[in-house]
Structure 1
């Protein structure tokens, strides 16, 4: 009985914690190599520009409508919550600054990243996973074609560019929705909303959102590519890889977002009104 428990414990450690560390290590290595290859390909003129354009167009077509559809209600929800809190403490004029900053600093990059992970990351993982089980990836390697240069690098570059663009679009739409909701639904004034927002917001807030977008885009594409290229077990394995890709991406995105937010808050403390 004791030996069976020990065997089960060792098997559990191999199947879960150790396997998780190996996966994170593989994703980190792929990320570093992808960045190196991206810089090298651009410098030497070997960057797969056509594949980059195709992937970017696919990502935009897949994710821009869901991103807008999610950004609007989240911005309205933030306006409601901050408006209620401001009314309770007698600081109604500050609701505009609070909701606007929340949209730019947190909502825009996080919404974009989550939509990329679910809509784009799953598609990338399914595509590469299907190629892997059909042995197309092995065929490319046999022919001497670098899978990293041919498939991974263009997707990473496209993911970063699309993430930055969608984050800017999401921030604009979210701010506009917060403004319209605060002014026309909650009875706020235009001048108060804009004045408090401009008093608190800085260009650094937008820089933070753009840096988050770059990192989030890399995380989503690298995790999806690694999971797709390591697919095993036939069509069922593709489904498992897609599920694991989405879950892992979202978990990593939330952890990295907390780290970015805390680091930015310590380096650039919020100024007083």
Structure 2
């Protein structure tokens, strides 16, 4: 009887211990993953610097990957930027009319897109389209043991296949951010000015009065960082894919989820630091 009464408590304690062990294992797995990604990031930057200085950088691979990323992400970028521009323009215009500040529509709409919307769309496209494509490529090479073959031949996979992709993603992120900003800002301009809510001169003048060069530097800096981080995450997951095609698919799913979360957190941190450190212009 004593054994029967003690069995449920032992069972509960065993389940609790198993749950704690599982959480502890996941925590340490996360620490290991973060450390591996950090090592991969510094390694790719080191090879990028030394290869360019030593004239050993694979420019052909760089341009091939850059063109591939542009083909993958350009049209989705434009198609996502237009709705973003429409939503921001409508919401900003509506609030501006309610409070009687229609003349400041250009400043709020343009700066909001430049600082936040354009880098955000760029981060989503870099994580979803570019990151998943890179992860699928490297994952397929890993499960086919092509990466292992490179190591046997004395070639460094980070130097040969990761570094050119990192450089290409940073360049493409820089370009895509400009495309998103121009597309969304033109969309907002046509909606507000074309709808008769504000004159063209007042719209542009308000934007020029409040915008500053550091806003553009902030947006482009975010885009380059997002491209770098998305590629590092994708490369790490691709190079560690296991289990055949299913393992590659799982790696791609994990890559996209992790990249979106990381880029969102980095975006918040960079924006907060910018607001705290850079004096804002007062008209």
Fold match (TM-score > 0.5):
yes
TM superposition score normalised by structure 2: 0.93
Aligned to 1:157: 167
Instruction: Give the drift of 1:5.
Output: 2.4
- C-alpha separation in 1, matches of 2:173 and 2:121: 10
Q: Paired residue for 1:12, among 23, 28, 39? A: 23
* RMSD of equivalent CA atoms: 1.1
- Following superposition, which runs of at least 4 residues in structure 1 exceed 4 angstroms of deviation? none
Deviation at 1:186, TM superposition (A): 5.2
Aligned counterparts of 1:34 and 1:214: Cα–Cα separation in 2: 15
TM-score by structure 1 length? 0.97
Indicate conservation of the 8 Å contact 1:83/1:186, yes or no.
no
Q: Does 1:237 align with 2:244?
A: no
Distance of aligned partners of 1:45 and 1:26 in 2 relative to their CA distance in 1, 3 Å threshold: same
Distance of 1:52 and 1:155 partners within structure 2:
6
- Counterpart of 2:122 (choices 101, 112, 126) is 112
Count of residues paired in the alignment:
272
Instruction: Report the equivalent of 1:28.
Output: 38
Task: Give the distance between the partners of 1:8 and 1:204, measured in 2 at CA.
Answer: 49
Select the structure of larger CA radius of gyration: 2
- Which residue matches 1:48? 58
Verify the 8 A CA contact 2:143 2:243 in the aligned structure 1: yes
Structure 2: gaps (5+ residues)? 1-10
Segments of 5+ residues of structure 1 without an aligned counterpart are: none
Which of residues 171, 179, 194 in structure 2 aligns to 1:184?
194
One of 127, 131, 146 as aligned partner of 1:121: 131
